[in-house]
Amino acid sequence: MTDTGSLSSVSTEFWERTVRSSQSVKGKMEPVDYVLLGLAILIFSCWSVNWALHIMAIAYGKWKLRHKLKTSVPEELPGVSIIKPLVGVDPNLFENLETFFNLKYPQYEILFCIQDESDAAIMVVQSLIQKYPKIQTKVFIGGRTVGVNPKINNMILGYEAAQYELILISDSGIKMCEDTLEDMAVCLNNKVGMVHQMPYISDRSGFASHVEKVFFGTQHAKMYLCANMLGINCTTGMSCLMKKDVIQEAGGLTAFAEYLAEDYLLAQAFIDRGWQVKISSETAKQNSGHYSISHFHARLIRWTKLRIATIPLVSALEPIFQCMFLGAVASWAVSYLFDWTALVFFLVHVLVWFLLDYILAKVVQGGPLPYSKFEFLVGWILNETCFLYFIFCAHLNPVVEWRGHKYKLRWGGMMEELNSQNNYKSNLKHTLIEISSDKA
């Protein structure tokens, strides 16, 4: 018998056995039995796909995150305008911003965009500019209202003043290594128009930080790596390098100012114009000095709301790829299809998932994990059990709170500010404080 022949005889056997077992349990097949049978097979298929995603994420992570592209002529890399949108100061802000003054990159400028004129971030930035007078910098305060998204309003002056062909949007909490910018820039070519860093967490002390690290190194990394490997847009804009002319072609940053998920839509604009969007080999080191479990959970709920409004279909599928939910429904499916014991199946499912996540966490870290196995276990259980609750909370209330302002999300990802009488439209100041000397 040929391979195809044996395969089709196996699948016929599976069907006959499945139908027989359903019939033997329930007597003659009723329409509802067909529905249950179909559902059980669908769940079992999703369950099988899930393991493929796990393996794919580990393999792709191992390859991509360790496979640095290099250029033999770094001095020929195009100039980069780095936009840093800042709101407030945290204990790590100075240290994080300082890493941008120490980049090993031939030509770049840093465009600090500070939302409020009374923000203490201005002092932090000024002291760094004084410390590194050779680095090209500009400071913009107050932004300009071009839409509702406050990050875009804040960045717009910096964006318009950018003089180089590449733009790096880099959130306030990001810490760079000396070669991070080069690592990103070498990924761009005549096919790849945008490169972003997969979100991760720098090594900070404390359980709250470990929980975030476990999340970004496991369930988040799994989907992020798989999506990127399959060419599916899954872009978080905390550290994104892109070609300015493509953004201009899409209408400039202003074109995204009505949306909360401006990062995802910006990447989509590149894809729609035939450009590829890739991740770089280094992960984004989020190193905000303010972190706690409640802050982390609030952020994940905000992101979930934003995904529900922007890409409802994907969001509807999200619970299916959660460990506990998938384990529970798959346990029912296998007990229905094969008469397996649901509880034993569920426990084995959770154990294997946990072990694969541990392997993935090590791959993403790329070195020894800064937490113990016990901390990983507790953080993992917390993340896996809370996620369905986040999805529930996100569905319950479409109002998003971001840096002290409230926004209501609409289908399609458009947003509307709720407390607009307090918003910063009223105190806009388009101020350019200082332009330092050119880099020597």
| Cα dihedral 150/155/159/165 (nearest 10) | -100
Nearest to 276 by CA among 212, 332, 194: 194
CB of 402 to ligand UDX, least distance (A): 5
Token duo for residue 164 = 């180089």
CB of 167 to ligand L2Y2AEV6, least distance (A): 17
Pick from ligand UDX, ligand L2Y2AEV6, none: which does 297 bind, CB < 5 to 8 A by kind? none
Judged by CB under 6 A, which of 116, 171, 282, 318 binds ligand UDX?
171
- Is 85 in contact with 384 (CB distance < 8 Å)? no
User: Of the two residues 43 and 157, which places its CB atom closer to ligand UDX in the complex?
Assistant: 157
212 binds ligand UDX per the rule CB under 6 A: no
Helix H, strand E, coil C: the string for 96-149 is: HHHHHHCCCCCCEEEEEEECCCCCCHHHHHHHHHHHCCCCEEEEEECCCCCCCC
To which residue do tokens 């109002």 refer?
399
Nearest to 170 by CA among 90, 239, 244, 236: 239
Q: Which of residues 324-363 bind ligand L2Y2AEV6 (CB under 6 A)?
A: none
In the chain, the N- to C-terminal Cα span, in Å, equals 74
Q: Which of residues 259-318 bind ligand L2Y2AEV6 (CB under 6 A)?
A: 261, 263-264, 303, 306-307, 311, 314, 317-318
CB of 415 to ligand UDX, least distance (A): 10
236 binds ligand L2Y2AEV6 per the rule CB under 6 A: yes
CB of 319 to ligand UDX, least distance (A): 21
User: Of the two residues 109 and 212, which places its CB atom closer to ligand L2Y2AEV6 in the complex?
Assistant: 212
Instruction: Give CA 185 to chain center in angstroms.
Output: 19
Candidate list 116, 183, 263, 357, residue with the active-site label:
263
Segment contacting ligand L2Y2AEV6 by CB under 6 A, of 133-141, 222-230, 271-279, 429-437: 222-230
User: Of the two residues 181 and 311, which places its CB atom closer to ligand L2Y2AEV6 in the complex?
Assistant: 311
**CB-based closest residue to ligand UDX:** 150
Three-state SS for 84?
strand
Judged by CB under 6 A, which of 296, 321, 371, 380 binds ligand L2Y2AEV6?
321
Say how far apart CA 64 and CA 364 lie, in whole Å: 10
- Catalytic residue list contains 33: no
- Is 166 in contact with 243 (CB distance < 8 Å)? yes
Return all residues near 425 (Cβ < 8 A) that are at least 6 apart: 145
Say how far apart CA 421 and CA 379 lie, in whole Å: 40
CB of 265 to ligand L2Y2AEV6, least distance (A): 8
CB of 52 to ligand L2Y2AEV6, least distance (A): 9
Pick from ligand L2Y2AEV6, ligand UDX, none: which does 317 bind, CB < 5 to 8 A by kind? ligand L2Y2AEV6
Say how far apart CA 61 and CA 366 lie, in whole Å: 10
To which residue do tokens 């999703």 refer?
46
Nearest to 139 by CA among 116, 167, 158: 158
Segment contacting ligand UDX by CB under 6 A, of 5-13, 232-240, 267-275, 332-340: 232-240
Say how far apart CA 416 and CA 425 lie, in whole Å: 14
Say how far apart CA 318 and CA 220 lie, in whole Å: 11
Pick from ligand L2Y2AEV6, ligand UDX, none: which does 232 bind, CB < 5 to 8 A by kind? ligand L2Y2AEV6
Judged by CB under 6 A, which of 37, 40, 87, 198 binds ligand UDX?
87
154 binds ligand UDX per the rule CB under 6 A: yes
User: Of the two residues 236 and 281, which places its CB atom closer to ligand L2Y2AEV6 in the complex?
Assistant: 236
Q: Give phi and psi for 82, each to the nearest 5.
A: -95, 120
Token duo for residue 219 = 């369930």
Site string for ligand UDX, 299-318 (x = CB under 6 A): x-------------------
Token duo for residue 211 = 């929980």
User: Of the two residues 113 and 361, which places its CB atom closer to ligand UDX in the complex?
Assistant: 113
Q: Note the residues at the interface with ligand UDX (CB under 6 A).
A: 85-87, 115, 150-151, 154, 171-173, 236-238, 260, 262-263, 299, 402-403
The residues assigned a catalytic role are 263
